[in-house]
Amino acid sequence: MTPSTTSAGRDGAPRRSGPAGGTAGRLPWVLVLPAVLGMAFLVLPLAGLLVRAPWSTLARRLAEPQVLEALRLSLVTATLATLLCLLLGVPLAWLLARVAFPGRRLARALITVPLVLPPVVGGVALLLVLGRRGLIGQWLDATFGITLPFTTAGVVIAEAFVAMPFLVISVEGALRAADLRLEEAAATLGASRWIIFRRVTLPLIAPGVVAGTVLCWARALGEFGATITFAGNFPGQTQTMPLAVYLALETEPEAAIVLSLVLLAVSVVILASLRDKWTAGP
């Protein structure tokens, strides 16, 4: 801390007096240069996408049946996957946050594995378990005649597998931050654990659930590796937007750009909806 503010004038610093005032000297270029490069690295590809987009034919290309088909499939599967994640993930987060059971730390670590696992590996793992010859898939096939791989249901499964940790982590964080004493207060008023969860806990953690849901949906929408491995790439059935983008890039680069733009637009909308929660500065 500078002992007096007048010394800043003698050092020649006033030309760069920051809003905080006084404390900052020269900006350290060792940090600023890589910072600017980093920013450019993240932003330029997106700008490139916008620059090279075939704006004149955009409307026509967007209306092409296979684009609409892929978009519809993506939205439907991502939404179904998110619903599946909510149905299983919120109780799972509650269990991890509220119930002390042996091996809870291990369980928490295992649940975050899909977060860091390469999605292709996730797809292979799903095949091994739910594939026609898989541990559970075999039984599903024999007993109910259900086959999951290479079906739309398979897409949902693959997306949910990859996206659920986002929801669980977000909801668990909200649960840990929620005031437990409010749940105790509800108990003294005669509320059972289920009533407490539904009428006190859930409303309290609603912002965390919403944020987790949006992140989860976004992750499911962009899923590529696990989907193509577990569900394949059949137009209209398992070919989601990211798969369509990848395929189009080989045959029709302009179409790939258009599809990418759609995904970019969706991402921006999501980011905007979460603006307050994730991008707001201190």
d(CA 43, CA 175): 35
d(CA 164, CA 4): 54
d(CA 192, CA 162): 34
Nearer to other proteins, 133 or 199 (CB): 199
Kindly determine how many residues on this chain lie close enough to bind other proteins according to the rule CB under 8 A: 17
The single-letter code of the amino acid at 218 is A
Q: Cα torsion for 138, 139, 140, 143, to the nearest 10°?
A: 130
In the complex, minimum distance from the CB of residue 192 to other proteins, in angstroms, rounded to a whole number: 6
Per rule CB under 8 A, is residue 175 in the interface with other proteins? no
Stretch that binds other proteins, among 75-83, 157-165, 177-185, 208-216 (CB under 8 A): 177-185
How far from the centroid of its chain's Cα atoms is residue 159's Cα? 10
Tokens of 247: 């395929």
Per rule CB under 8 A, is residue 177 in the interface with other proteins? no
Nearer to other proteins, 64 or 179 (CB): 179
Query: Which of 53, 187, 210, 264: binder of other proteins (CB under 8 A)?
Result: 187
Query: Which of 188, 279, 281, 282: binder of other proteins (CB under 8 A)?
Result: 188
Which 122-141 residues touch other proteins, going by CB under 8 A?
Answer: none
Could you tell me if 210 and 167 are in contact, meaning their C-beta atoms sit under 8 angstroms apart? no
Nearer to other proteins, 105 or 181 (CB): 181
Residues near 20 by beta carbon (within 8 Å), at least 6 away in sequence: none
In the complex, minimum distance from the CB of residue 107 to other proteins, in angstroms, rounded to a whole number: 25
Per rule CB under 8 A, is residue 189 in the interface with other proteins? yes
Could you tell me if 24 and 18 are in contact, meaning their C-beta atoms sit under 8 angstroms apart? yes
Nearer to other proteins, 75 or 191 (CB): 191
Chain positions contacting other proteins, by CB under 8 A: 179, 181-182, 184-192, 195, 199-200, 203-204
